[in-house]
Chain A
Amino acid sequence: MSPPPPPVPGAAPAAEAPSAYAVPQDVRLWDIFVTFLFIGAVSFGGGVVAYLRASLVLKRGWLDEEHFLSALEIAQALPGLNATNMSIIVGDRLRGVAGSIVAFTGMTLPGGSMVLALGVAYAANAHNPYVNAALVGVGAAAVGMLSAVTLQIGHKQLGQMLNVAIIAATVLMVSFLHISLVWVLLTVGPVAVFLFRPRKGDSGEGEGEAS
């Protein structure tokens, strides 16, 4: 839940040697299923990333902090939801295709069955004023939750002007100019990657603490 990444227990003193981390071997499919079922059952209101980190990095030690963020960036950059993409990517890293399938199933089973049950009940109570008032409160709470999660994830980037400029350009295009997502991704994406292109004399070390 906390924004600053805590040290990873059991990941050895590998602060400046990320390659010291290795994907765990022989993780059982059942353990993958149960872990993602738990995340799928307790992660509420869009804060899935925090639960993923708590379970996968801190509790299970299946990923170290760097590999977690790497998987998260793939999950966020590609189409699909962060939570389900993460389940597919992490499941695949641990146990291949079967790992992906059980992780995805675990992640979506609790919420999917509950929302369907609620949806069936809602269809019968759509004009109940108590239901509607509660849903207005839930929607407002969701806005606060999403703001906090966005700030937690973007926190370390706000210290660097280039990052702030890319964030601002994205928000301007999507939220205020209402430019289609496809065009935003096809323009801002390549420009941002080019701005962070590899430089001569930069061996890839040390820029992780840019903020």
Chain B
Amino acid sequence: MNENLSVLGVFSLLSILAVGGGAAVLPETKALVVGTHHWLTDDQFRDIYGLGQVVPGPNMLMVIVIGYHVTGFLGALMAFVGFFLPAGAISWAASRVWDHFEGSPWRRSLQQGLAPLVVGLMASGTISIARTAIDGRLTIIIAFAVFAGVYCVKKINPALLVLGGGLVGLALLSGTGAGMPPN
């Protein structure tokens, strides 16, 4: 089958499943891309997720790189369109419908009920990323330092903290083979 259409189909499915944002759909993304389709290895997936972290904007823009790895620039386009078009169209339509329920008491119930569900999904997304990214004392220290920086020091730019984490890894881990394929 045409690999470009496969990329489009997989990321369209992920787009519709991505309720609660990118962090919540990360495990499914990995299962399909690494497990089902063997488009990437575990290590490549972790690295490409890292690339998504160092660029601005939504870090799930990394789907572009996954598509690029499968079939080049056309694959990148397929992944982008697949991941953003279905969910974008649903959001656009639903927010308009939502406006028609202005004043309905159930609208407030929906907002109040979904708010903690979304917080729970964000927490789960954090846990799923931690399971791949936290693998030793140094990564724990980096995570806690960034957490403290973002949560306690209001004025700090998160970009600097993420890049700082990369520099610490570069300085302290580059001699250890961290993150390298086992062979």
> Using a CB–CB distance below 8 Å, which chain A residues touch chain B?
1-2, 39-48, 50, 70-71, 73-85, 88-89, 92-93, 97, 100, 104, 107-108, 110-112, 114-116, 118-120, 122-123, 126-127, 129-154, 157, 162-164, 166-171, 174-175, 181-182, 184-185, 188-189, 192-198, 202, 204, 207
Asked whether, in the complex, the Cβ of A133 is within 8 Å of the Cβ of B59, the reply is no
Asked whether, in the complex, the Cβ of B21 is within 8 Å of the Cβ of A82, the reply is yes
Asked whether, in the complex, the Cβ of B123 is within 8 Å of the Cβ of A167, the reply is yes
Asked whether, in the complex, the Cβ of A114 is within 8 Å of the Cβ of B142, the reply is no
> Using a CB–CB distance below 8 Å, which chain B residues touch chain A?
15-25, 28, 44, 46-62, 64-65, 68-69, 76, 80, 84, 86-88, 90-92, 94-96, 98, 105-106, 108-130, 132-134, 138-140, 142-151, 154-159, 161-170, 172-174, 176-181
Asked whether, in the complex, the Cβ of A122 is within 8 Å of the Cβ of B150, the reply is no
- The number of A-B residue pairs with CB atoms under 8 Å apart is 392
Q: Is the interface of A mostly helix, strand, loop or mixed?
A: helix
Asked whether, in the complex, the Cβ of B162 is within 8 Å of the Cβ of A74, the reply is no
Q: Which residue of B88, B126, B139, B174 contacts A139 across the interface (Cβ within 8 Å)?
A: B139
- 9 tightest Cβ-Cβ pairs between the two chains A and B: A137-B169, A141-B165, A170-B120, A111-B57, A80-B87, A144-B146, A119-B65, A44-B159, A198-B105
Asked whether, in the complex, the Cβ of B129 is within 8 Å of the Cβ of A139, the reply is yes
Report A-chain residues with C-beta under 8 Å of the C-beta of B164: 141
Asked whether, in the complex, the Cβ of B86 is within 8 Å of the Cβ of A111, the reply is no
How long is the Cα–Cα vector from A170 to B165 in the complex, in angstroms? Answer: 30
Report B-chain residues with C-beta under 8 Å of the C-beta of A1: 154-156
Asked whether, in the complex, the Cβ of A111 is within 8 Å of the Cβ of B129, the reply is no
How long is the Cα–Cα vector from A140 to B47 in the complex, in angstroms? Answer: 12
Q: A17 to nearest B CB, angstroms?
A: 14
Known: A45-B59, A79-B90, A137-B173. A145 touches B161 (CB 8 A): yes
Q: B30 to nearest A CB, angstroms?
A: 13
Asked whether, in the complex, the Cβ of A137 is within 8 Å of the Cβ of B58, the reply is no
Given contacts A138-B169, A185-B19, 16 further A-B contacts (CB under 8 A): A41-B57, A44-B56, A71-B95, A79-B18, A81-B58, A110-B55, A138-B53, A142-B162, A146-B23, A147-B151, A162-B116, A166-B120, A170-B121, A171-B123, A175-B123, A197-B106
